[in-house]
Amino acid sequence: MKILLTGATGYIGKRLLPVLLENGHEVVCCVRDKNRFPTGGIYAQPGISLYEVDFLNDKVAEKLPAGIDAAYYLIHSMSADSGDFEKMEAVSARNFMNLIADSGIKQIIYLGGITNSKELSKHLSSRKKVEEILGGSAIPLTAVKAGIIVGSGSASFEIIRDLVEKLPLMVTPKWLTTKSKPIAIRNILEFLSGVLLNEKTFDRSFDVGGPEVLTYRQMLLQFAEVRGLKRYILTLPVMTPKLSSYWLYFVTSTSFKLAANLVNSMKVDVVPENNELEQMLGIKPISYKEAVSLAFQKIEQNNVVSSWTDSFVSSYSNSYMIEHIRIPKAGCFTDRRQKEITEDVDQVVENIWSIGGRRGWYYGNWMWKLRGFMDKMVGGVGLRRGRTNAHSIYSGDTLDFWRVLAADKPNKRLLLYAEMKLPGEAWLEFKIVSKDSKNYLMQTATFRPKGLLGRLYWYSVLPFHFFVFEGMVKNVIGYREEVV
């Protein structure tokens, strides 16, 4: 069958794609920018084709490919910088429906949130509205609705991980008593693939969850048990939603906007009511503790397929990558370093591709951490996003407080764009070039200041650049990972 997959570069989309391919389907991946779709490995299979479309834009550049049997709608905008993500989600859903109106598609499959409570958060209300839009046509809709999804790289998993691993004592808000039925990512994928063109699921909505009803407090403590940690939780009834959002923002890797939306949703019970899909498909949900253990197996094997931090939110236009991938020259400050590579060039490439995250930045890691802390204090992303995979990286991925614009391994070039709070724009490029039968590592930092404040910023950090950038270019060449 031929399947249309929206949100193909998102957390769920990247996990669902290999499942669909393994089941023998041809997959048309909807992306806002073809340049940031991963290349190589599973993404180079002949069963994949790309369709570029921005569902926030009413105009569609290309005609939808013919012969599509079913479509997955996995677009989500909760972490968008725009305050009106509800409107953005509705616009995306309507444009999606306009696109497929006369396509002959036999089914739409939507992954939404559980909306059984009388009072819903903005996030859950938006999810419900999207379901209504998708179900408003003659094309049968199958809605699979879940609460907390447990898997390596998921937002909920990584936030709980941050809290448990960093705080022996947690002073928490009262929403820790809110109930949910957390579900493993592998079960979600089983449900999403199991309903595909299953006529028994047409024009129906199903709540899905794991085998246990747990409070957030219980999830934190059980997570700690799996990790072999002793943790204590003190709940304060006076902690306001705003204070709760700041608490999540400063302790975890989430943005403040996402933290605020999560806190509003965390006050609402998300317990499934209609869970008959388990019996219909013969799926046995695994326990929360087992889901956490399986997630850490993926992490320890360095086999995390996707992370919520890598996903572009819908507030980015389709031209985001194109706009910044061309490094400007006029009105910019630059720091260029060039060092000859006298040893294995391939090893240097691997060092470049492993930069950031746990390995760090090869020189002055304490200064990078301080810069990340300063960024967090002024509302930036900080260093906590890390990286999804220790040695593999693709265009569009996050890398600490950078975004990967170009990861061209065959041509030995990595280009990063700063997403930290700055009075200007910054790029960091690593490139290996050959001259006169010799190989050189070219490392270039470019900063385009905004006004006088931007220029003052550059000159204030200039003394640190000499040590940091000089040390970094030397160590990128000389680094050898110790084999234990």
Domains, the chain, with CATH or none: 2-310 (3.40.50.720), 320-478 (3.30.530)
pLDDT at 198: 94
Among candidate residues 143, 245, 156, the one with its CA nearest the CA of residue 201 = 143
Residue ranges of the chain with per-residue pLDDT less than 50: 79-82, 308, 312-322, 483-484
pLDDT at 433: 93
The C-alpha atoms of residue 171 and residue 264 are separated, in whole angstroms, by 18
pLDDT at 389: 76
Q: In 347-470, where do the E strands start and end? A: 398-399, 402-408, 413-418, 424-435, 438-449
Among candidate residues 353, 348, 401, the one with its CA nearest the CA of residue 374 = 401
Q: Tell how strand 70-73 and strand 48-52 pair up.
A: unpaired
Q: Tell how strand 402-408 and strand 204-207 pair up.
A: unpaired
Q: Cβ–Cβ contacts within 10 Å for residue 94, how many?
A: 16
pLDDT at 298: 76
Which residues are CB-neighbours of 416 under 8 A, at least 6 positions away?
Answer: 399, 402, 403, 404, 405, 427, 428, 429
Q: Which amino acid is at 90?
A: A
Read off the DSSP letter of residue 319. T
Burial 390-413 (b: 16+ CB within 10 A, else e): bebbbbbbbbbbbbbbbbebeebb
Query: What is the Cα Rg of the chain in Å?
Result: 23
Alpha helices in 101-215 (DSSP H): 122-134, 155-166, 185-194
Please list the residues that pair with 235 across neighbouring strands: 172
The C-alpha atoms of residue 271 and residue 182 are separated, in whole angstroms, by 9
